[in-house]
Amino acid sequence: MNKTCAKPTRRGIDLRWKILAVGFFANASFYTVFAGLPVTAVSMRIGYHLTDADVGLVFGLFGGGLAISELPWGMLSDRWGERTSLLLGLTALFVTLCVMSACVAPSSGFVPPTLHLWLAALSLGIFGGSVNGASGRAIMSSFDESERGFAMSIRQAALPVGGGIGALLLPPIAASMGFSTVYMLLALLTGIAALLAWAYVRPTQREHDSPPASTPVAAQQETSLRAHTRKQASSIWANVRVWRISLAIGVLCAAQCSILTFAALFLHDIGQFSMIVTSLAVVGIQACSTALRIYIGRATDRRKNRGQFLRNACLLCFSAFLSLALFVACDAGSHGTHFLRVAMLVAFVFTGICVSAWHGVAYVELATAAGAQRVATALGLGNTCAFVGMFVCTVAVPALIVTSGWPVVWLAASACAIVAVLSFPDTFHRNHAAAPSSPCAPVTSNTSMPHDTSFPSEVSRQDSIDLVSEMKTVRE
């Protein structure tokens, strides 16, 4: 009897790439909302008759809703399946945006209450938290170990793509056609994403849906395996590796936020650059980092060195931020010579690219550390840490600028990179040999595709010994 795994069929290969496309489109459509609406702040302030504080609270509630909902949505995805979570979240986003278009959009002679806009923004954030964990779980379960970095990097590339589309399209539409059209366009995008998820993401196969064992011995073996799976699934909160990677993601996102959020202030106040140069610099950072994410995902899949790459990337970010702080200090001492200003701009763009290109690989390692049963929960935890890091950054950077100046800001960012180096585990694939599952083990979701959802690298050696001993006892 041939015990080797069957090769993937053409249909299976096509389906997994469709699932990746669904994950990409779902993330891009949501980040068109998340990153595009803030660019319409001027039109929103005029149309809704808001103060600057009111506008800030709108987007603060949007981000706050996203931050508090990432982890619950991830847990829901692991319990009910990625298809259910995606459909619930995207459908709720669609309905919310339709209601906003009909009832919460200003028009001639009508200005909706500010409270309604605040509640709508909070709802968008809460429902949008479903996209990250569910799409990541679907992609991780659809691709094997040799392609997960590439696939997740493509998914992460959807964030700047969606943000760029929103920044280009939404402001002119809001100014010329009004917010009712803006919300309806965004509802159309999320509605299409929900339809694609319904069509291509397969329901998760639950334990009670599996076929009954043919013999008593097989039934006992299956019971033991299920108990082992539940033990691994419940251990995520005690998994030090998951917490370390999540902390590293949080501090690196804080460093990234210091570059992207405060780019206009830094380049204008310190470099005396025009808004055109500033815009080109930010667009260059986003475009280069997006392409680099995909390349790095592919390269680390081939070389199987994700852990080493992440630590080296943190060290590179540390060096880049340190160089930027040095250039700023020298520029202040020389009263801004042309050469130093150009060098500072180049260093700023280079640092922004370095600190924006690691995401896909880091999220793959986070999901692998958690194991197949808690992928979405781990991704939700990682994103929660990321939003906390960005919030701390937005509060801390203005205070540092006032009290200490920009060189200290970049030194603090370099310190974040060092914390990330120390937080990332030394190695991510120590326990591959200890996995109790075979390459042909049954999968738990999207069962039409040949893939491995066991993530065996994170099964500890002692758990493997315990399981093997238990299986021997059953056979005897």
Are 265 and 307 in the same domain?
A: yes
Three state DSSP letters for the chain: CCCCCCCCCHHHHHHHHHHHHHHHHHHHHHHHHHHHHHHHHHHHHHHCCCCHHHHHHHHHHHHHHHHHHHHHHHHHHHHHCHHHHHHHHHHHHHHHHHHHHHHCCCECCECCCHHHHHHHHHHHHHHHHHHHHHHHHHHHHHCCCCCHHHHHHHHHHHHHHHHHHHHHHHHHHHHHCCHHHHHHHHHHHHHHHHHHHHHHCCCECCHHHCCCCCCHHHHHHHHHHHHHHHHHHHCHHHCHHHHHHHHHHHHHHHHHHHHHCCHHHHHHHCCCCCHHHHHHHHHHHHHHHHHHHHHHHHHHHHHCCHHHHHHHHHHHHHHHHHHHHHHHHHHHHCCCCHHHHHHHHHHHHHHHHHCCCCHHHHHHHHHHHHCHHHHHHHHHHHHHHHHHHHHHHHHHHHHHHHHCCHHHHHHHHHHHHHHHHHHCCCCCCCCHHHCCCCCCCCCCECCCCCCCCCCHHHCCHHHHHHHHHHHHHHHC
Are 26 and 155 in the same domain?
A: yes
- Residue at a domain's end among 423, 449, 464: 423
Q: Domain for residue 455, yes or no?
A: no
CATH number at residue 419: 1.20.1250.20
Percentage of the residues of the chain whose pLDDT score is greater than 70: 79
pTM for this one? 0.77
Q: Domain for residue 390, yes or no?
A: yes
Are 111 and 175 in the same domain?
A: yes
Q: Domain for residue 119, yes or no?
A: yes
Are 187 and 273 in the same domain?
A: no
Lowest-confidence pick of 45-49, 134-138, 314-318, 423-427: 423-427
- Residue at a domain's end among 378, 401, 423: 423
Are 173 and 277 in the same domain?
A: no
Q: Which domain holds residue 364?
A: 233-423
- Residue at a domain's end among 185, 200, 215: 200
Are 31 and 177 in the same domain?
A: yes
* pLDDT tens readout for residues 105-123: 998 888 999 999 999 999 9
pLDDT reading at 281 higher than 90: no
Higher-scoring residue by pLDDT: 241, 208: 241
Q: Domain for residue 275, yes or no?
A: yes
pLDDT reading at 430 higher than 50: no
Are 44 and 160 in the same domain?
A: yes
Are 312 and 192 in the same domain?
A: no
Are 74 and 191 in the same domain?
A: yes
Are 191 and 237 in the same domain?
A: no
Lowest-confidence pick of 83-87, 234-238, 374-378, 396-400: 234-238
Q: Domain for residue 208, yes or no?
A: no
Residue 264 confidence (pLDDT): 80
Of the pLDDT bands very low, low, confident and very high (cuts 50, 70, 90), residue 88 is: very high
Lowest-confidence pick of 7-16, 221-230, 455-464: 455-464
* pLDDT tens readout for residues 344-365: 999 999 999 999 999 999 999 9
Residue 262 confidence (pLDDT): 86
Are 75 and 193 in the same domain?
A: yes
pLDDT reading at 258 higher than 80: yes
Q: Domain for residue 458, yes or no?
A: no
Are 244 and 382 in the same domain?
A: yes
Q: Domain for residue 90, yes or no?
A: yes
Of the pLDDT bands very low, low, confident and very high (cuts 50, 70, 90), residue 233 is: low
pLDDT reading at 213 higher than 60: no
Higher-scoring residue by pLDDT: 181, 269: 181
Q: Domain for residue 180, yes or no?
A: yes
Higher-scoring residue by pLDDT: 179, 457: 179
pLDDT reading at 295 higher than 80: yes
Of the pLDDT bands very low, low, confident and very high (cuts 50, 70, 90), residue 232 is: low
Residue 89 confidence (pLDDT): 95
Q: What's the total number of domains in the chain?
A: 2
